[in-house]
Amino acid sequence: MSHPEIDPLPESEDVKSGAGAASTDELGPSYLTVTKTISSWVFTLDHKRIGLMYLVGVLFMFLLGGVFALLVRTELFSPLAILTPLFASTPEAQADLYNKWFTTHGAIMVFLVIIPGVPAALGNFVLPLLLGAKDVAFPRLNLGSFYLWVTGAIFFIYVLFSGGIDTGWTFYTPYSAESGTAVIPALIGVFILGFSSIFTGLNFIVTIHKMRPKGMTWFKMPLFLWATYSTAVIQVLATPVLGITLLLLILERTLGIGIFDPRNGGDPVLFQHFFWFYSHPAVYIMIVPPMGVVSELIATNSHKRIFGYTYIAFSSVAIAIFSFLVWGHHMFTSGQSTTMNIIFSGITFSVGIPSAIKIFNWLATMYKGAIVLNTSMLYGISFIFLFTIGGLTGLFLGVLSIDMHLHDTYFVVAHFHYVMMGSGLVGFIGGLHHWWPKMTGKMYDEFLGRIACVMVFIGFNLTFIPQFVMGSLGMPRRYYTYADKFEGYHQLSTIGSYVMAAGFFLTAYYLIQSLISGKKAPMNPWGGNSLEWHTPSPPPLENFYSVPVATDPYDYVGMEYDQATGNYSTIKPDQLPARREER
């Protein structure tokens, strides 16, 4: 409704062949410049603008959650109180404060950053482009999802200002039923965020089903779409259960309905079942889309057809299906029955297989490729390494006997950080770099990009490898203070987190710098062949000047590189029209 009609341009040969090193502005306004009022952003129905707004919001929340992570890590540098005395006087109040910090860090990172990160922010921008569509199926619902996300974020910020919340992001009863902190606003926030996630998923499923272009059968879709599709199914099917569970927890706190609180006749383990019925699949909401991103990164930057396409595609689907059947492995020590423990342990191993398949196929894709080690590829390679560690350490926790020892220790903390952050967020950042030129029309500084990636990689491993060790030595999680023998590990971990933070700040610096003074991005700077690289950077309002015809997204044979413009196209440089030489 806020879209002014733009005239379709005469189809220039440049655009068709992809030789258009031309930015959109030479051909006509891009989606960024087509309208300039604030309301044209606030009420936009354009998926690209919504994706960009998501991105800004998610990155802001990432900063906020990251600050809390640094607070937590700094506090743990020593078993003595370090930071908390600045804000609270008694030891009790200091411990409470620490508990609020780690809860806030966890809740923000899970619900506001990683879950919406790839699907809502990157997915919104890229998905219709990959499909050659003009928008998602329900643009208004899409905008609605975004504002639901904003509402949820506002609830969380309200929680921060109303004294915080100290239940841990898992909201385990009965502690969450009796904690004196702002639990209800946080629960309402998560409930609303859940619906934001559901509507995004619903939108994507319908879009992928009904809006694929001519010639794009299911098995010609880019793998990112397979990943997004699998994720969307999880979002739609798992999130409502979380919604009703949190609703009942709110009622437990207000009315004491006696479902979860043993003092009212309820069962706390039941809460855990329902919580993890959502939250385990939610782990795959966080990891499967980055896997899709990495499939694109690896194939594009290796300039080689992705290896084992169908295996990767089906492994995404398999992960989505298995994800619903393994929630009980979070509760091996909770007192659920022995039989259930054994069944859940067995099924848990089945999730490992599709993950292994993906890793080996990515490796095979790199074999004999033409690997350009740009920033996004470095993130892709980091992803493979970190996800390998995250996945392998998951095996320890899936083995029933070992989990008796490792459950609720720092080993678990390190494991899920490798999966959720080392893989989920690194995939997200990699995707951000991959599509940054497409989103903004600007190139960032490759040199600083690589440095930052290496810093994040080193910092990350330095933060979390010591946590594996101290976890298996018996350091329980969520501890404000700890036995002296763990001090050295904590110090390494804290130093690592600073290195990582420096890497992220450097990233923020050069990305912002690229907006101000970055080179103009060509149409296809990486040599990708999926449809988003067949439209100018940034794309025009309705994405394509002419109806794109889907070809094989992983066919890089005909791609020629033009040194002068940094662009890939199907035309050899020496045959390019002279007009392009002037830049």
- Which residues ranging from 80 to 119 are in contact with another protein (CB under 8 A)? 80, 90, 92, 95-96, 99
Each residue 116-145 as x (binds another protein by CB under 8 A) or -, in order, gives ---------------xxxxxxxxxxx----
d(CA 339, CA 346) in angstroms, rounded, equals 11
d(CA 203, CA 195) in angstroms, rounded, equals 12
Q: Which CB sits closer to another protein, 62 or 358?
A: 358
Q: Which CB sits closer to another protein, 157 or 573?
A: 573
> 277, 280, 274, 282: which is closest to 246 by C-alpha?
274
Q: How far is the CB of 34 from another protein (least distance, A)?
A: 13
Q: What angle do CA 71, 186, 50 make, to 5 degrees?
A: 90
If one asks whether residue 198 binds another protein (CB under 8 A), the answer comes out as: yes
If one asks whether residue 556 binds another protein (CB under 8 A), the answer comes out as: yes
Part in contact with another protein (CB under 8 A); list of ranges 20-28, 115-123, 341-349, 449-457: 341-349
Count of residues for the chain?
583
If one asks whether residue 39 binds another protein (CB under 8 A), the answer comes out as: no
Positions 178 through 197 that interact with another protein (CB under 8 A): 178-180
Q: Which of 41, 147, 158, 175 binds another protein (CB under 8 A)?
A: 175
If one asks whether residue 572 binds another protein (CB under 8 A), the answer comes out as: no
322-361 exposure pattern, b = at least 16 Cβ within 10 A, e = fewer: bbbbbbbbbbbeeebeeeebeebbebbeebbebbebbbeb
If one asks whether residue 349 binds another protein (CB under 8 A), the answer comes out as: yes
d(CA 383, CA 394) in angstroms, rounded, equals 16
Q: How far is the CB of 371 from another protein (least distance, A)?
A: 5
Q: How far is the CB of 16 from another protein (least distance, A)?
A: 14
Q: Which CB sits closer to another protein, 59 or 159?
A: 159
Part in contact with another protein (CB under 8 A); list of ranges 419-427, 454-462, 499-507, 561-569: 561-569
Q: Which of 491, 513, 551, 570 binds another protein (CB under 8 A)?
A: 491
Q: How far is the CB of 134 from another protein (least distance, A)?
A: 7
Q: Which CB sits closer to another protein, 36 or 210?
A: 210
> Which residue(s) pair with 560 in the sheet?
569
Positions 207 through 266 that interact with another protein (CB under 8 A): 209-214, 236-237, 239-241, 243-245, 248, 251-252, 255-259, 262-266
**Residue 531: exposure state from Cβ atoms within 10 A (0-12, 13-18, ≥19):** buried
According to DSSP, residue 112 is labeled I
Positions 55 through 84 that interact with another protein (CB under 8 A): 78-80
With tokens 């020593």, the residue in question is 78
Each residue 307-336 as x (binds another protein by CB under 8 A) or -, in order, gives xxx-x---------------------xxx-
> 546, 389, 377, 401: which is closest to 449 by C-alpha?
377
Positions 389 through 408 that interact with another protein (CB under 8 A): 389, 392-393, 395-396, 398-405, 407-408
If one asks whether residue 17 binds another protein (CB under 8 A), the answer comes out as: no
Cα distances (Å, whole numbers) of residue 388 to 101, 372, 382, 392, 464: 29, 22, 10, 6, 14
If one asks whether residue 152 binds another protein (CB under 8 A), the answer comes out as: no
453, 376 Cβ separation under 8 angstroms: no
Cis check: omega of the bond before 553, within 30 degrees of 0: no
If one asks whether residue 3 binds another protein (CB under 8 A), the answer comes out as: yes
Angle between helices 309-323 and 268-302 in degrees, nearest 10: 170
- The tokens for 505 are 């700040």
- The tokens for 418 are 């490798």
Q: How many residues interact with another protein (rule CB under 8 A)? A: 161
Q: For strands 560-562 and 567-569, give the pairing.
A: antiparallel
Q: How far is the CB of 59 from another protein (least distance, A)?
A: 26
292: number of Cβ within 10 Å: 30
Cis check: omega of the bond before 185, within 30 degrees of 0: no
Positions 443 through 482 that interact with another protein (CB under 8 A): 466, 469, 472-474, 476-482
Q: Which CB sits closer to another protein, 157 or 473?
A: 473
If one asks whether residue 352 binds another protein (CB under 8 A), the answer comes out as: yes
If one asks whether residue 36 binds another protein (CB under 8 A), the answer comes out as: no
Positions 410 through 439 that interact with another protein (CB under 8 A): none
Query: Taking the chain, what is the end-to-end CA distance rounded to the nearest angstrom?
Result: 37
Q: Which CB sits closer to another protein, 166 or 296?
A: 166
d(CA 293, CA 286) in angstroms, rounded, equals 12
Cα distances (Å, whole numbers) of residue 360 to 292, 367, 418, 526: 14, 11, 18, 23
Q: Which CB sits closer to another protein, 258 or 508?
A: 258
Q: For strands 560-562 and 519-520, give the pairing.
A: unpaired
If one asks whether residue 150 binds another protein (CB under 8 A), the answer comes out as: no
Q: Which of 364, 448, 454, 465 binds another protein (CB under 8 A)?
A: 364
Part in contact with another protein (CB under 8 A); list of ranges 60-68, 114-122, 282-290, 364-372: 364-372
Q: Which CB sits closer to another protein, 59 or 221?
A: 221
Q: How far is the CB of 404 from another protein (least distance, A)?
A: 5
Q: Which CB sits closer to another protein, 113 or 137?
A: 137
If one asks whether residue 577 binds another protein (CB under 8 A), the answer comes out as: no
If one asks whether residue 269 binds another protein (CB under 8 A), the answer comes out as: yes
Residue 331's identity, in one-letter code, is: M
- The tokens for 468 are 């594996």
Q: Which CB sits closer to another protein, 85 or 509?
A: 85
Half-sphere exposure of 245 (CA within 13 A, CB side): 26
φ, ψ of residue 476 to 5 degrees: the values are: -70, 155
Q: How far is the CB of 254 from another protein (least distance, A)?
A: 8
Positions 512 through 531 that interact with another protein (CB under 8 A): 527
Cis check: omega of the bond before 577, within 30 degrees of 0: no
Q: Which of 84, 200, 409, 423 binds another protein (CB under 8 A)?
A: 409
Instruction: Identify the helix (H) or strand (E) that includes residue 567.
Output: strand 567-569
